[in-house]
Structure 1
Amino acid sequence: MAWLQLRINATAEHAESIGTMLSANGAQAVTFVDAKDTPVYEPKPGETMLWPDTQVVGLFDASDDMPSIIARLAQSKLLGNNFTHKLDPLEDKDWEREWMDNFHPMQFGERLWICPSWREVPDPGAVNVMLDPGLAFGTGTHPTTSLCLRWLDGLSLTGKQVVDFGCGSGILALAALKLGAGHVTGIDIDPQALQASQENARRNDVADRLSVYLPDDQPSLQADVVMANILSGPLLELQDVITAYCKPGGKLVLSGILAEQVARIEAAYARDFDLDTSAIDGDWARVSGVRKLA
């Protein structure tokens, strides 16, 4: 079966009402997507948290009469005649198989390869990280992750203590361990991310050098290297927490940053770090530096 996706830009105030309208007009599923770079934190009991700029996505059968549906939506007071929307075809596929078929081994820098666990490694003599992301974020295909991986490949990590703040699938933690780090502490708000990190660590025979924690359980420590590939909002809000993990003279790398947000991140972290020239990859950026000694 083929499908159609109807995307409508909304505010948090109106997103749920628009979602209800889509369901009433035949949408098989409705999802809410962050339309901008804005984190959403744990809701209170009974509370639904949405982003200030939210995209409401309705999934429709391709045989549905979409012109009539859009016309009915346009008659509502909430949307009006000129509401912004986009209609895209979505072919029905085995999406997991499609993704697996298109996830190939990738090289980062001179030594490091990220390899799907179901494929042969192209260079057995390289530093190979075998990865099965599961439900957690992080495969190396996104510029934010690849920027950090290339940075890691250029470091001497032998015996170093590392913190991976927002570890996701564990890809950065595993890369650091395979590049010689003595121990990595992974921290994430998502228990599934911690599980994925541990499973990937076992797959790479480095589980004895990885510890993972939820934020409320995170230990007090100072590491030689701190990595935080999250978003600019949390990087700013949690600046003191992230900085505290990095010992004086230690190295820091930050990503999940849009190129247009670099100046603000640099201005904040320059308080405690001597910053390198930031790296840009398309719309995304990496900020790195060394913590000041005093």
Structure 2
Amino acid sequence: MTLSVSFRVNELVATNWNASWESNFEPVTVGSFLHIRAAFHPPFFQAQHEIIITPKMSFGTGHHATTRLMVSEMSLLKWHQKKVFDFGTGTGILAILAKKLGAEKVLAIDNDPWSIHNALENCNANQCSSIQLIQADQPPATERFDIILANINAFILKEQLPTLAAMLAPGGQLLLSGLLEEDQQEIQLLCKQQALALQAIEKMAGWIMLRVAC
């Protein structure tokens, strides 16, 4: 039996991935409330708040519907002197916004070390170095918070909902996203089982955001 072997060599053209990313990253504006941009974009003075984000490999640039839903709902809440927990912080965008809106304390966790490093860079870029960032899989069940932000995948939300509910201070509010419209019925039932009352539900491009309170 005769075997034939063939091969070819392709030359890979050197690519400046940072330049490629910069050319494709567009600023995001959420109404007149928030403008999200990279450091290489010019400032935007028509929004109430502005956040500078370098996303790298982390989630949370404002382009995804779930982030926009969370930001829109955050614009309606009172933040002064509130303790805030951001579960699955990604780029840190929601934690940074909470701090800019007046939160007294912000704790943010993510299980990805790269995300924590990226979130730290973004916190420093937005003069929010007081935000506490921790690499962790599990929420800190012994602490209590006035507002909890959880924009993460539906499986983790459903699994961690009892813990998140127990972490709410009396009268506390929990914002949930990373959920598809098809998840709505199940997540509402799970919230009801945790004695969490539905305060608001918003939808965008097949995704939903729920705000519930204890």
- 1:119 is displaced (CA, Å) by 0.8
Instruction: Specify the alignment match of 2:33 in structure 1.
Output: 111
Instruction: Specify the alignment match of 1:250 in structure 2.
Output: 172
Q: Deviations over 1:3-41 (max 9, x none)?
A: xxxxxxxxxxxxxxxxxxxxxxx9xxxxxxxxxxxxxxx
Where in structure 2 are the equivalents of 1:15-94 lying within 5 Å?
none
Q: Counterparts of 1:112 and 1:216 in 2: how far apart (Å)?
A: 30
User: Aligned with 1:243: secondary structure?
Assistant: helix
Aligned letter for 1:240? P
TM-score, normalising length: structure 1: 0.63
Aligned letter for 2:67? T
Q: Counterparts of 1:263 and 1:104 in 2: how far apart (Å)?
A: 34
User: Aligned with 2:130: secondary structure?
Assistant: helix
User: Aligned with 1:128: secondary structure?
Assistant: strand
Aligned letter for 1:284? W
- 1:104 is displaced (CA, Å) by 2.5
Q: Counterparts of 1:192 and 1:220 in 2: how far apart (Å)?
A: 26
Instruction: Specify the alignment match of 1:231 in structure 2.
Output: 153
Q: 1:121 to 1:113 in 2, by over 3 A?
A: same
Match of 1:285 among 186, 208, 211: 208
Instruction: Specify the alignment match of 2:120 in structure 1.
Output: 198
Q: Counterparts of 2:200 and 2:114 in 1: how far apart (Å)?
A: 34
Q: Counterparts of 2:20 and 2:164 in 1: how far apart (Å)?
A: 37
Question: Structure 2, unaligned stretches of length 5 or more?
Answer: 1-6
Question: Structure 1, unaligned stretches of length 5 or more?
Answer: 1-25, 27-60, 62-91
* Identical counterparts, % of pairs: 30
Q: Counterparts of 1:247 and 1:254 in 2: how far apart (Å)?
A: 17
Instruction: Specify the alignment match of 1:275 in structure 2.
Output: 198
- 1:114 is displaced (CA, Å) by 1.4
Q: Counterparts of 2:98 and 2:41 in 1: how far apart (Å)?
A: 21
Q: Counterparts of 1:115 and 1:177 in 2: how far apart (Å)?
A: 17
Q: Counterparts of 2:59 and 2:78 in 1: how far apart (Å)?
A: 26
Aligned letter for 1:221? E
- 1:216 is displaced (CA, Å) by 5.6
User: Aligned with 2:84: secondary structure?
Assistant: strand
Q: Counterparts of 1:288 and 1:260 in 2: how far apart (Å)?
A: 17
Kindly name which structure, 1 or 2, has the bigger radius of gyration based on alpha carbons: 1
User: Aligned with 2:108: secondary structure?
Assistant: strand
TM-score, normalising length: structure 2: 0.85
User: Aligned with 2:29: secondary structure?
Assistant: strand
**CA RMSD, aligned part only?**
2.2
Q: Counterparts of 1:142 and 1:211 in 2: how far apart (Å)?
A: 23
* Contact persistence 2:84–2:103 (CA under 8 A): yes
